[in-house]
Amino acid sequence: MVDLEMLKKISLVNGISGFEKQATRLMKSYIEDCVDEIQYDQLGSLIGIKNGQSDLKVLLTGHVDEIGFIVKDIDEGGFIKVQPVGAWMGQNLPSSLMAITTRDGREIKGVFGSVPPHGKSVEERNKVVEPKDSFIDIGVLSKQEALDLGIHKGDPITPVSEFTVMGNEKCLMSKAWDDRIGVAVIIEVLRQLKGQDIYPTLYGAGTVQEEVGLRGAKTVGQMVKPDIAIAIDVTFSQDLPSEKGDVKLGSGVALSVMDGSVIAHTGLLKALESLCEEHHIAYQLDMIAAGGTDSGELSKVEAGVMNITLSIPSRYMHSHRTIIHVDDFDATVQLLVAFIRTLDQNLYTAMVEDKR
């Protein structure tokens, strides 16, 4: 049974790139009794370590950061100018509710301003304002009022959303599934392995600043120096009216053959496919030409790391109304648990030899 309360909390907690502390604190609360040690890198990424019977290191990463904004300036009317953090589309912003977190932890709600259609030409109505040119209205009449609320340049701005169980109760809509659903996968894997002996030493990491350049993946990879690294992230669900493809909600874990940042290690890919077949775990193969995940940095640590990305299909990625399917979450957890339980030196050697 999927833990809906955990999924709700992990998706709704604030944590844009560079301001992830609330998210890592929440992740820690879920995994601290499942691991032997917790470490951090200097950027704030959290790493839970479950000791194994060997020195073989397996690293699982899910990035805890979400896209958002930072206060760039406050004009004389008290309107908040913003700096996007991560990739936003202007179409997603007008009338969206946001929360500015002040230095002392207060949350000030505001709405992205939108211009009514009355008296506008068709061209003006259809014009999309760039995110960097947008502004937030916090309901004040002057710059001083905004300053009196404690708002300063550099304060993080996080989308405000709700956790919604959809018409099909296995479909869940919330903000930050990119990549809090990956974080939730790691939490659930560590829960299911709690108290069990495993051969590899397992590292479960919530990496920071993925949305602005895979930065936490680089530092965590350098810390851990894993033998195997698996990034868990979201991918595009190709079941929309405007886009048809093989990867769909509810069809299982997506094994990423390649994306814009990495090509999967063939030995690891084949081993995971075999486990899916053996354990009757629903899976699909994903291949995209653009975009990337933590794998883009993890694969390049030192002399190279055996690596793949496992993805959960999602609709409306990089918006604060994203939809995922719990069966895909479950399939991803099942595959990773089966892999960790199965992994021994013989399997590792066989995967290595696939490249030699």
At a CB cut-off of 8 Å and minimum separation 6, what does 99 contact? 14, 107, 108, 109, 110, 157, 158, 159, 160
Asked if residues 122 and 168 have their Cβ atoms less than 8 Å apart, the reply is no
Please identify which of the residues 66, 188, 210, 297 carries the catalytic annotation. 210
CA angle (78, 80, 83) in 5-degree steps: 160
210 tagged catalytic: yes
Cβ proximity of 129 and 95 under 8 Å: no
Beta bridge mates, 315: 323
Write the burial class of residue 113 (CB in 10 Å: 0-12 exposed, 13-18 middle, 19+ buried): middle
Point out the residues that are catalytic. Answer: 210
